[in-house]
Amino acid sequence: MLSFLYRLVENYHREHGLHPNLLYVNQWHYRKLLECLPEMKNQEEVSRFLMMQIVISPESAHPYVAWLPTDAGGHLGRERERIL
């Protein structure tokens, strides 16, 4: 599982020039990932190790990675403040 994720990350980086910060997996894939990382105690540790946030979604037929700006949605609050 880890080698598969590594290839996903490398391909994404090569294609987009960015390191993905989101990993989408279903529950089965997440359990397989945990089997590869038995020393990790919770999802936060796994997320830090992978340097990606983990989204567990039943719609994810296959694991995939994506990139979301770290300040996504942050500007909405500032715009709302200006309006008020």
Q: Provide the domain count of the chain.
A: 1
The tens digit of pLDDT for each residue in 23-77 reads 999 999 999 999 999 999 899 999 999 999 999 999 999 999 999 997 655 554 4
Residue 1 in contact with residue 32, Cβ under 8 Å? yes
CATH number at 77 reads: 3.30.2320
Question: First-to-last CA distance in the chain?
Answer: 49
Reported pTM: 0.78
CA 22 to chain centre: 2
Q: What is the residue range of 66's domain?
A: 2-83
pLDDT of the residue at 73: 54
